[in-house]
Structure 1
Amino acid sequence: MISAISDRYRARADAFEAKVLNVRADQWDNPSPCAKWTALEVVDHIIEMHGVMLGVAIPRTEDPLTDFREARRQVQEALASDRARDEVTTPGGPMTLEDHIDQVVSDDLVLHGWDLARATGQDETIPAPDVERLWATATSVPAELMERFRTPGAFGPGIEVYGREVKVPDDAPLQDRLLGYVGRDPVSKRV
């Protein structure tokens, strides 16, 4: 079954995969905008979250591109199956597997794609529809839940959904305001 969620995931996975493909061998240890993570650890997180969404461990090799492609294949397979409509338990309450993938790992591809681009000197532009969608989603989270999202470990050891907000000017481009809101500094430390 092909859906808007599946199409959105595919487009975002294409963009993320292209960024992984363009990381030079000497860039994997570059620091990322995610505190304490290198470029490689950003990709590892994305692969791990794909497995979390599916309740499986994604097989790993020594090649991040191969591993991402396998994680992506498994998610796309789940989105194309009847399993996509199964109800799953999430920190935000019960929802379908496809909605959970859309709201977590698909959105992660966008934000962590920016992190990977920043860490490795690639194009950091997020497509405008993704910026608008993520902005609307992030700013609609109730304050008490947002505080939990910003608390390291609130959803498990080592898990931090968003960092502390980085203030950016109110008239900054929406991409910069989104990045600041979710805890990234959109202007400093460009590679």
Structure 2
Amino acid sequence: MTSTEISPAQRYRDLAAGFTARIDAVPADHWDNASPCEGWTARDVVRHVLDSERDMVKVVGLELAPGPSVDDDPSAAWAAVRDSMQAILDDPAKSTLEYDGHFGRTNLGATVEGFLCFDLVIHGWDLAAATGTDTTMRDTDVEWVSEIAAGLGESIRMSGVCGPEIQVPDNADKATKLLAFLGRKA
């Protein structure tokens, strides 16, 4: 790792803090608002993130600590999953556990970084868009997610991942172009 690269644990910590801020900004009466993800509410976006994280660690024989239901307390449910995932990522013996993934042999930390951290940025935007809170994404996150999305190619269009690309003007900003590539209207 070079001095400009960060570990999966560090990236997760940083992006999870941003996702936490987005959750904490949601007004109590906005959890059932429709999200940009077809058929999902704001609460469903958080549920998806939690379920993805819980399912991810199972592929290497681990479990996240149980926590409250997203239906009862989305913030507390997220905090329980986040803290449990962070503890796993901070333990090299666990974060480097290998498995055979969709794109070949990999390890838990790499998948969390390339998939779950991606979700924290994009579903953070979905959550903010659903609830009328600040949808701004950091430029560094937009660039990082754009690189990952481009690397995924057409596999990003698999059922249940992202919708078809939306056309935007050539002079649109990078965040708008990224969201459009992922089937979202900024």
TM-score in terms of structure 1 length: 0.86
- Distance, in Å, in 2 between the alignment partners of 1:88 and 1:126 is 32
Aligned amino acid, residue 19 of structure 1: R
2:127 is the counterpart of 1:124: no
Secondary structure of 1:89's match? strand
2:11 to 8, 25, 36: 8
Q: Which residue of 1 aligns with 2:78?
A: 68
CA-CA distance at 1:105 after TM superposition: 0.9
CA-CA distance at 1:89 after TM superposition: 2.4
1:18 to 5, 17, 21: 21
Q: Which residue of 2 aligns with 1:165?
A: 165
Q: Runs (4+) of structure 1 moved beyond 4 Å? A: none
CA-CA distance at 1:88 after TM superposition: 2.0
Aligned amino acid, residue 162 of structure 1: C
Is the CA contact 2:149–2:156 (under 8 Å) kept in the aligned structure 1? no
Is the CA contact 2:165–2:183 (under 8 Å) kept in the aligned structure 1? yes
Aligned amino acid, residue 177 of structure 1: K
CA-CA distance at 1:52 after TM superposition: 1.2
Secondary structure of 2:172's match? coil
Is the CA contact 2:35–2:130 (under 8 Å) kept in the aligned structure 1? yes
CA-CA distance at 1:162 after TM superposition: 1.4
- Distance, in Å, in 1 between the alignment partners of 2:175 and 2:156 is 20
Q: Which residue of 2 aligns with 1:156?
A: none
Is the CA contact 2:36–2:129 (under 8 Å) kept in the aligned structure 1? yes
Unaligned runs of 5+ in 2: 1-5
CA-CA distance at 1:90 after TM superposition: 1.8
Aligned residues: 173
- Percent identity (aligned): 35
Unaligned runs of 5+ in 1: 153-159, 187-191
Aligned amino acid, residue 158 of structure 2: T
Is the CA contact 2:67–2:76 (under 8 Å) kept in the aligned structure 1? no
- Distance, in Å, in 2 between the alignment partners of 1:88 and 1:73 is 23
Secondary structure of 1:36's match? coil
Secondary structure of 1:122's match? coil
CA-CA distance at 1:33 after TM superposition: 0.5
TM-score in terms of structure 2 length: 0.88
- Distance, in Å, in 2 between the alignment partners of 1:130 and 1:90 is 24
Q: RMSD value over aligned CA atoms?
A: 1.4
Secondary structure of 1:111's match? helix
More contact order relative to length (CA 8 Å, sep ≥ 6): 2
Q: Which residue of 2 aligns with 1:80?
A: 90
Q: Which residue of 2 aligns with 1:95?
A: 106
Secondary structure of 2:20's match? helix
2:59 is the counterpart of 1:52: no
